[in-house]
């Protein structure tokens, strides 16, 4: 991860990276499916990770047999998710320590998330992390969602640097592909979503946690 020392700015994914919220989303989806009596395969959630709402809707519609049922499932799932989230946003180990270190070193940071901007802003505020980010780019701000590079190109532009000078932290396959396609320097921090070997190779480095990234950056070069 030596290349991180030379990055001018940093961009973070949010769910599954800063927050341990993919598990909340998974619980919410299956709770909604049970409530609505909609049969859904146990592994169906994993293919939704890292994607924005329009893409999620399309994939669920194929799974459950139509747009109307998919819309009901999403609405019910979001209700359960909000109930879980009201108990507190679960921040990943080392996230704030890393953000504090980057702030101390004058490295500007942004969030690039498939979540809608308003919802992303609210979660960051709830977790007390919004103050560390110059900008938050949600999936509703770009024409194409991850794995297209649009969101990382926009996030880098908002920080005033080229993607090639940004370090990106991602956990999902669509996110890794998006950051790599934008030309950014990518660190894969695994979470719930499986990532195939081909996609793993797109990352310049792997870290087991953001805590590990912070400890690495604290060491002298």
pLDDT band, residue 221 (cuts 50/70/90)? confident
Verify that 106 and 183 share a domain, yes or no. Answer: yes
The reply to whether 48 and 122 lie within a common domain is: no
Same domain, yes or no: 81 and 112: no
Q: Are residues 55 and 107 in the same domain?
A: no
- The SS3 call for residue 114 is coil
Q: Say if pTM beats, i.e. exceeds, 0.85.
A: yes
The mean pLDDT value for 173-181 works out to: 97
Domain shared by 81 and 118, yes or no: no
Q: How confident is the model at residue 16 (pLDDT cuts 50, 70, 90)?
A: very high
What the block records as the tokens of 144 is 């194409």
Please name which of 127, 113, 109 lies closest in space to residue 167, comparing C-alpha atoms: 109
Q: Quick one: 112 and 193 in the same domain?
A: yes
Same-domain check for residues 8 and 27:
no
DSSP for residue 91: B
Does 9 lie in the same domain as 106? yes
Pair 28, 13 in one domain:
no
Which residue in 144, 150, 147 sits closest to 170, CA to CA?
147
Q: Which of 85, 106, 130 is the last residue of a domain?
A: 85
CATH assignment at residue 65 = 1.10.150
Q: Are 158 and 135 in contact (CB under 8 A)?
A: yes
State the pLDDT at residue 219. Answer: 87
Domain residues for the domain of 70 are 22-85
60-77 residue pLDDT tens: 998 888 899 899 999 999
Strands in 73-217 per DSSP E: 109-112, 135-137, 166-170, 185-188, 205-206
- Cβ atoms 46, 194 nearer than 8 A: yes
Instruction: Report the CATH number at residue 201.
Output: 3.40.50.1000
Whether residue 108 is found in the same domain as residue 50: no
Q: Round to whole Å and give the CA distance between 15 and 136.
A: 13
Catalytic member of 2, 13, 171, 191: 13
Instruction: Using alpha carbons, list the distances in angstroms from residue 51 to 13, 15, 57, 165, 175.
Output: 11, 11, 10, 25, 8
Question: What is the rounded distance in angstroms from the CA atom of residue 199 to the CA atom of residue 216?
Answer: 23
67 is catalytic: no
Q: Are residues 117 and 56 in the same domain?
A: no
Q: Given the residues 15, 55, 150, 191, select the one marked as catalytic.
A: 15
Q: How many domains are contained in the chain? A: 2
Choosing from 52, 85, 118, the residue where a domain stops is 85
Is residue 174 domain-shared with residue 66, that is, in the same domain?
no
Quick: pLDDT tens for 189-201. Answer: 999 988 999 999 9
Q: Which residues contact 65 (CB under 8 A, 6 or more apart)?
A: none
- Write the pLDDT tens digit of every residue in 112-162: 999 999 999 999 999 999 999 999 999 999 999 999 999 999 999 999 999
Q: Other C-beta atoms within 10 Å of 219: how many?
A: 7
* pLDDT of res. 101: 97
Verify whether residue 15 is a known catalytic residue: yes
End residue of a domain, out of 57, 85, 113: 85
- DSSP structural state of residue 92: P
């Amino acid at each position: 991860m030596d290349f991180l020392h030379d990055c001018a700015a940093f961009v973070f994914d949010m769910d599954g990276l800063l927050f341990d919220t993919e598990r909340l989303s998974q619980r919410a989806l299956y709770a909604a499916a049970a409530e609505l009596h909609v049969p859904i395969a146990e592994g169906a959630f994993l293919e939704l990770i890292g994607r924005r709402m329009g893409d999620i809707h399309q994939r669920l519609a194929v799974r459950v047999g139509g747009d109307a049922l998919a819309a009901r499932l999403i609405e019910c799932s979001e209700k359960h998710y909000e109930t879980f989230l009201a108990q507190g946003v679960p921040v990943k180990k080392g996230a704030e320590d890393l953000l504090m270190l980057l702030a101390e070193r004058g490295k500007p940071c942004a969030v690039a998330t498939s979540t809608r901007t308003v919802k992303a802003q609210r979660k960051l505020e709830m977790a007390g992390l919004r103050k560390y980010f110059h900008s938050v780019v949600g999936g509703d701000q770009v024409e194409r969602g991850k794995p297209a590079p649009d969101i990382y190109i926009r996030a880098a532009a908002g920080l005033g640097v080229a993607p090639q000078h940004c370090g990106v932290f991602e956990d999902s396959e669509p996110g890794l592909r998006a950051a790599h396609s934008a030309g950014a320097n990518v660190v894969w921090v695994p979470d719930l979503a499986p990532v195939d070997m081909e996609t793993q190779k797109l990352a310049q480095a792997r870290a087991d946690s953001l805590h590990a990234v912070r400890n690495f950056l604290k060491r002298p070069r």
